[in-house]
Structure 1
Amino acid sequence: MRAPVVFAVVVTWNRRALLEQCLAHLMAQTRPCDGLIVVDNASDDGTADMLADAWAGRATVVRMATNTGGAGGFNAGIRAAVQAGAERLWLMDDDVLAALDALQTLLAAEDGLASEGVTSAFLCSSVRSPDGHLTNTPEIDRRENVLGYPDWGERLDRGLIPVRQATFVSLMVSRSAVARHGLPLAPMFVWGDDTEYTLRLSRQAPGHLVAASRVVHVRATPGRLSIETETDPGRERLHRYLTRNVILAKRRHEGKGPAARYALSRLRMAVGLALKGRWRQAGVLVAGVMDGARFSPEVEPCPTS
């Protein structure tokens, strides 16, 4: 069987040092990538010069005119990789350090599933923080087997767990899946865009977490995203996008009821913040709920020929 053409797609913004580490890990893979695309979201920290000097001929750089966020970056990167002939797209942010056999292990898992007649919606790696804690944990798929029991443990002995959503932290998706389901929603900008995309990919069949494929996520702020515990004032406004984007994902993939319950939970949280005098954070959540009620971006198709 011919090996698939694999392109790594990395989205970066103003994290030159981390990007250099990320790319070094990609270049050292035991199963080399067939192509490397870096989407530079209008960085102004010297990233463009570094890529031009050190990575000329080794990486294709897509330089965005403005910062389009992770959503816009992966939208552009997937499009560029498909147009360049990629058959598998290995997606990650610039703060991901992949174990040297991470790609080889993902592809071996894909081959194993294919030998059973299983086509996975996507594959994702096991993610840990630099100090070893699990992070970016995907949500287990709870579809049932023929006996009516959840099927998630079927391949547990091989370190394969069916999942319904994951993040753009070492996620592999096929060209054919992109052709069927389109591109990530660029208007989502940041936070939650990967959740919506993987839920879209896994409508008919689950993706799979490949436990033996390992990466480290060097996040600026570890832990779950919550405005209640946010310590960086510069990131507070991003929680408006998160609230809006989660409402959209729930509305499209779970229904109006779950979307409404999530919106109500954000409003309750806003009231709690206001009672503590945290009016700015409360306003961010209220604005996100209002945005979520009318936010409805269209899925863009991705030409594959």
Structure 2
Amino acid sequence: MTLPTSPRPAAGDAASGASFDPASATIAVVTFNRSTLLTRLLDSISAMDPKPGHLVIVDNASTDDTTDVVESYRDSIGTEIVYRRLDTNTGGSGGFSEGMRIAYELGSTWIWVMDDDVEVLPDGLARMGAWAPRFKSIQGRRYDFDGSEFYWQYRISEPLGIPIPFAPSGFDASGYKEMNSGCFEGMFINREIVEQIGLPDPRFFIYWDDQTYGWLASRVTTSVIVDEFVLRRTREIKQWDMGIRHMNASSDAYRYYIMRNRAIIKRYYRALDVYNPLLFGLGTTLTFGKEIIRLLFVERKVSGTSNLFRGLRDGRKIAKDADWKPMPPLVASPQA
């Protein structure tokens, strides 16, 4: 596939004298029982030029041959592998929190997080690094399984706490757009931002975790999505083609956490004094309606609604938990 050209900055910023060192970056991958997909990702990292300084692989207690697959790449992948197999499945949220923690403790300046169902394009790190002198929270673009350009909802309505589904997809000559969200399938973030906002919150388990983390990052820095194709999805997902965008199939577990985790977002909003109960409640209602549409038009079934109600019920417990606190920063602010 021929990569499109896009307006990119030079590898260094002449004004500041800054430049990007690939060795300062760590790729952090979360995997669970998908060794075949992980193999494709590791093959793509082997072919990268340049390569990162480290590759962190967090294994969410897989029961397949993931450990053997990882070990088989140690001598050939061309970068240092740090493999952490967890005792229990902590979900994507727990895996990314652990992966980012390890990368941070390795001294990484940049942390590039991704799932196991993507491939990295050979010059992906160079493309992301070209923007590093200008921004500290960066999202690249990716191709979908069929080679089409994947549209990611990079803007959220903060009062509603939900993505804006039809935010403009085009880029102007600058080659980037400001975002106030995040996606752990390719988030590229500087350690200074991680220090300020802390690690991703493992309590989400799955869903809303990356959106919330990206939103937190956008509150302390200018976060951007750049017109650089750096990843390719390697897993086909059932979708409903809506013309402008697609709606993916889900699962009962996702339905549960989609609704339960609204309560965690609410707790962050309250802690940061941006919570409007009427508007946030509307966002929750719209989310519930969207999941009903997903059931009817993507999965073509009516069962599964009980998981939505169960998530709402358990979310109320989180909302009332007097001991709940946001994830703490890794470095205290000078004012603290």
Q: TM-score range by the shorter chain?
A: 0.7 to 0.9
| Residue 202 of structure 2, aligned match among 182, 186, 192 | 186
Matched, 1:72 2:94: yes
Match of 2:161 in 1: none
Counterpart among 182, 191, 207 of residue 175 in structure 1: 191
In the TM superposition, residue 302 of structure 1 has moved relative to its aligned partner by: 6.2
| AA partner of residue 174 (structure 2) | R
Cα distance change of structure 1 residues 85 and 270 upon mapping to structure 2, 3 Å threshold: closer
Give the unaligned 5+ runs of structure 2: 1-17, 159-167, 241-246
Q: Write 1 or 2 for the structure with the bigger share of helix.
A: 1
- Aligned positions of 1:108-127 closer than 5 A: 108-111=130-133, 113=134, 120-127=135-142
Give TM-score scaled by structure 2 length: 0.73
Query: 2-side partners of 1:46 and 1:280: how far apart?
Result: 34
CA RMSD across the alignment:
3.2
* 1:260 equivalent in structure 2: 281
Equivalent runs, 1:202-281 vs 2, <5 Å: 202-223=218-239, 235-249=251-265, 252-253=268-269, 255=275, 256-265=277-286, 280-281=303-304
Contact 2:267 2:326 in 1 (8 A): no
Aligned to 1:258, the other structure's residue is in SS state helix
Q: Is the 8 A contact 1:269 1:282 kept in 2?
A: no
- Partners of 2:97 and 2:199 within 8 A in 1: yes
Structure 1 residue aligned with 2:143: 128
Aligned to 1:107: 129
Is contact 1:82-1:304 (8 Å) kept?
A: no
1:298–1:136: structure 2 CA closer, same or farther, 3 Å change rule?
Answer: farther
Q: Give the secondary structure class of the aligned counterpart of 1:97.
A: strand
Q: Judging changes above 3 Å, is the alpha-carbon distance between structure 1 residues 270 and 123 closer, same or farther for their aligned structure 2 residues? A: closer
| Deviation of 1:287 (Å) | 1.4
Whether contact under 8 Å (2:114, 2:187) holds in the other structure is yes
Q: Assess if the C-alpha contact under 8 Å between 1:138 and 1:167 holds in 2.
A: no
Cα 1:293–1:105 change in 2 (3 A) is same
TM-score (norm 1): 0.80
Task: Please point out which of 310, 315, 323 is paired with 1:287.
Answer: 310
2:71 maps to 52
Per mean C-alpha deviation after superposition, the further-off stretch among 24-33 and 294-303 is 294-303
Q: Secondary structure at the match of 1:65?
A: coil
Which blocks of at least 5 consecutive residues in structure 1 are unaligned?
Answer: 114-119, 144-151
Amino acid of the residue matched to residue 325 of structure 2? Answer: E
The whole-number CA distance in structure 2 between the counterparts of 1:271 and 1:18 is 30
- Give the letter for the 1:126 counterpart: R
Matched residues, number: 281
Look up the SS of the partner of 2:186 in the other structure.
Answer: strand
CA contact (8 A) 1:135 1:223 kept: no
Q: Which runs of 4+ in 1 moved over 4 A?
A: 229-232, 266-274, 302-305
Residue 100 of structure 1 deviates from its aligned partner by 1.0
Provide the residue aligned with 1:63 in structure 2.
Answer: 85
Q: Does 1:91 align with 2:118?
A: no
Q: Secondary structure at the match of 1:259?
A: helix
- Cα separation, 1, equivalents of 2:72 and 2:43: 15
The residue type equivalent to 1:54 in the other structure is Y
**Shift in alpha-carbon separation, 1:125–1:267, aligned structure 2, 3 A:** closer
Matching residue's letter, 1:30: D
Deviations 1:21-53 (A, max 9, x none): 112212322221011100011111100122123
Report SS of the residue matched to 1:92. Answer: strand
Partner of 2:89, secondary structure, is coil
**CA-CA distance at 1:197 after TM superposition:** 0.8
Identity %: 24
Going from structure 1 to structure 2, the CA distance change for 1:269 and 1:135 (only over 3 Å counts) comes to: closer
Residues 1:270 and 1:61: Cα distance change in structure 2 (over 3 Å): closer
